[in-house]
Amino acid sequence: MLSQQLINATVLGSMYALIGVGFTLYFGMLNLINMAHGGIYMLGAFIALSAFHVGAQLGLPPVLLAVAVIIVSIVLTGGVGVVIERIAVKPLRHAPPLVFLISSMAVYMVLEELVLTLYPNGANPQVFPDPFDLKSFSIGPVVMGYVQVFLIAVAVLSIASLHFVITRTDLGRAIRAVTADPIGAQMMGIDVDRTIGRTFFIGSGLAAVGGILEGMNFGSVMFNMGFLAAIKGFTAAVIGGLGNVYGALAGGFLVALVEVMASGYLPGGAAYKNVITFSLLILCLVFRPTGLLRSAIH
Amino acid sequence: MVRVKLASGLAHMALWLLAVMTLSAGYAPAAFAKNVVKICAVLPTSGPAAAIGIGMMNSMDLAAKQINASGKLGDIEIELLKLDDGSQASMGMNAVLKAVSDPAVLACSAHFNSPVALATQDVFHRNGIANLVPAAIIGKLTAEQKGDEIFRIAPPDVWQISMAAKFPLAIAGKRFFLIDDSTQYGKSLVSEMEKNAVKEGGEKVGADSIAVGEKDFTAILTKAKGLNPDFIFFGGVTTEAALIRQQMVKLGIKALFYTGSGVISPTYISIAGPAGEGTYGYFYGLPYQAYPGGKKFVDDYAKGGYDKPFETYGLWAYASIEVLAEAAKRANAKGTLTRRGIIDELKTGEFPSILGEVSFPRPGDIKQRVIAYYGVKDGKWTMTHKSDENGKVIKLDTPVPLDAN
């Protein structure tokens, strides 16, 4: 049973980690908390859902279709992220952080309302296809859906790509430089604007993957799914230390582990798992505002 | 200046006189021909249950039109006063207060949601006016009422569960795990299920609560799986039920998934997808074909030009108006066409309706009851079993799809 719960937590943690990374990237670079990120997460899932419907008419094999859909959604959602940066972030770069927080909430609401009104029958939950038809296998007492293996693989691949970009590429070096010292980076010839735009592309693309994972795992998506996901992702980023990419990843899995253990082992814990998670967030903000894992990983 | 005012005042008066004369000229013959009995229909035509509320309101509208057109009420005619309760107690209260303040309103058929019906019950009592509740099923609404004004065309929840608890024990086994959605509705459903199932020889192996809006239930389902129940009963509504069912299938849980009537809807099937197969729920209604007037109602509704379907409770809404109209007719024949007169008719009479003959013995709930069991088969809610009067579970020879339009 414990091993099953650990698998449950891993699947859930993948989603939280992927959305948490965006929060931490933006905060590290711009000192901004971007609440629009939850809207991006939801949008990624809906773009993928539309792509599924289009792709299903082309008659692609399901797994190939799922991969294609994820790529399409990353590219389009990343593009939307870049546009949002241009419209709602860049003009406010020198404004007080509170102004940006409000503007990002407005962007979140716009995204949510757009999907609610423009997507056919948008007020209701939408069925999200499972490319593996709910098939599962078991190793001893542990049962796993093929879709969950696929999701963990996608999450691991996304995180590995992020690690590669940050540590091994010019873009990654630029991101690290701008995060450490934007003025210094600019003096060294780094195009700060372009770096920030690309960071929004990466953060939004990863959030889209998170949204797709949620859709595939739970079989349905809804226009308001971004709100709770954003708070969970934000919690993951805070616990990991805002600005610390690996901290956010670890934070995502930690939040999931706490939730699953609370639901699985505390009597009546499932109804209170959000209370427990957000208490953790408050405790963290009060006692370790730099994050639980700051010293461990940095 | 003064003269101008006087002139315009006179002109106004003349206009008023003209208007009043025209109106009374137009109105008088109609009023002379038929005595209009107003029936208030208070349903959630906006808000979260709007689809169901609109379906019921349309069904009531159809009933009123057909009854008037048939001429069977003699020298009276019914008119619906349509009001919205938005599934909220406060809105329902305003609507009912407005309705009862109109002396021409002699009876009501109000509310889909139990909390709204509980909120307004005293208004009906204080004003001595009948409310034939078309759907809200909470037991104490009738059982604990102060007077005799509340009637209901649905069996109370407590009775439903006392029947429904026997079903999973008969088809799945004794060991059960309970999940509620932390709402009052879900919690009371689960506690009644526990009480009744234990009385029937069931054994509770565990229970847990979830929060509405949550999506990941794998942790508590993993816990449930370890306890190896024969069935899992869920007290809650569609979306969470569908997610629980999906995750049960993914975790390889073989136990029967059993829920209340709140889940029996096409939405459940579309969200749960293929995982929904084998889910069971109980409901106090039969597929519409099983009722004497069911087929005709469905056909007439289709011809009625309504742009929304009648949904799950259309038949009961239609029947409520039939009953109230018939009660008004009988009271009229005795010369007691008053609010009290209609209550007295409802308390003692048997009324023909599309559901068959119905009556409302104290405390006011429908006497003619049945509990049917629906399973998801090939993507459709299909009735496979029912309970007889003694609660014995009977398997149907041929399953009948619910066919919720």
Return the closest-CA partner of residue A131 out of A49, A72, A226: A49
Locate the chain B residue with the closest alpha carbon to A145.
B250
Locate the chain A residue with the closest alpha carbon to B226.
A1
pLDDT confidence band for A294 (50 / 70 / 90) = low
Look at residue B16 in the predicted model and tell me its pLDDT.
60
pLDDT confidence band for A290 (50 / 70 / 90) = confident
Strand partners, B78: B37
Task: Say yes or no for a CB contact (<8 Å) between A228 and B213.
Answer: yes
Residues 6+ apart with CB under 8 A from B4: none
Average pLDDT over residues A179-183: 89
Low-confidence ranges of chain B (pLDDT < 70): 1-33, 404-405
Give the tokens for residue B258.
């059993």
Give the tokens for residue B392.
């014995």
User: How close A163 gets to chain B, by Cα (Å)?
Assistant: 28
Residues 6+ apart with CB under 8 A from A248: A17, A20, A21, A23, A24, A236, A237, A240
pLDDT 10s digits, A188-247: 999 999 999 999 999 999 999 999 999 999 988 999 999 999 999 999 999 998 888 899
Look at residue B65 in the predicted model and tell me its pLDDT.
96
Look at residue B21 in the predicted model and tell me its pLDDT.
47
Look at residue B254 in the predicted model and tell me its pLDDT.
93
Cα–Cα distance measured from residue A213 to residue A125, given in angstroms and rounded to the nearest whole number: 16
* Residue B143 near residue B363, CB atoms below 8 Å: yes
* Residue B310 near residue B301, CB atoms below 8 Å: yes
Please identify which residue in the block is written with the tokens 């959630």.
B44
**Which residue in B182, B239, B247 is closest to A271 by CB distance?**
B182
Task: Say yes or no for a CB contact (<8 Å) between B211 and A270.
Answer: yes
Look at residue A134 in the predicted model and tell me its pLDDT.
79
Average pLDDT over residues A115-142: 86
Residues 6+ apart with CB under 8 A from B270: A127
Look at residue A135 in the predicted model and tell me its pLDDT.
84
pTM, to two decimals: 0.81
- Percent of chain A exceeding pLDDT 90 equals 63
pLDDT confidence band for A60 (50 / 70 / 90) = confident
Look at residue A51 in the predicted model and tell me its pLDDT.
94
What's chain A's average pLDDT? 90
Cα–Cα distance measured from residue B335 to residue B119, given in angstroms and rounded to the nearest whole number: 32
Domains, chain B, with CATH or none: 34-155+289-359 (3.40.50.2300), 159-283+370-401 (3.40.50.2300)
Task: Say yes or no for a CB contact (<8 Å) between A4 and B211.
Answer: no
Return the closest-CA partner of residue B189 out of B177, B201, B181: B181
Cα–Cα distance measured from residue A40 to residue B349, given in angstroms and rounded to the nearest whole number: 61
**Which residue in A124, A270, A274 is closest to B208 by CB distance?**
A270
Locate the chain B residue with the closest alpha carbon to A126.
B271
Residue A296 above 70 pLDDT? no
Cα distances (Å, whole numbers) of residue B278 to A115, B170, B173: 33, 15, 15
**Which residue in B225, B246, B251 is closest to A219 by CB distance?**
B246
Q: Looking at residue B139, what DSSP letter applies?
A: T
Look at residue B25 in the predicted model and tell me its pLDDT.
47
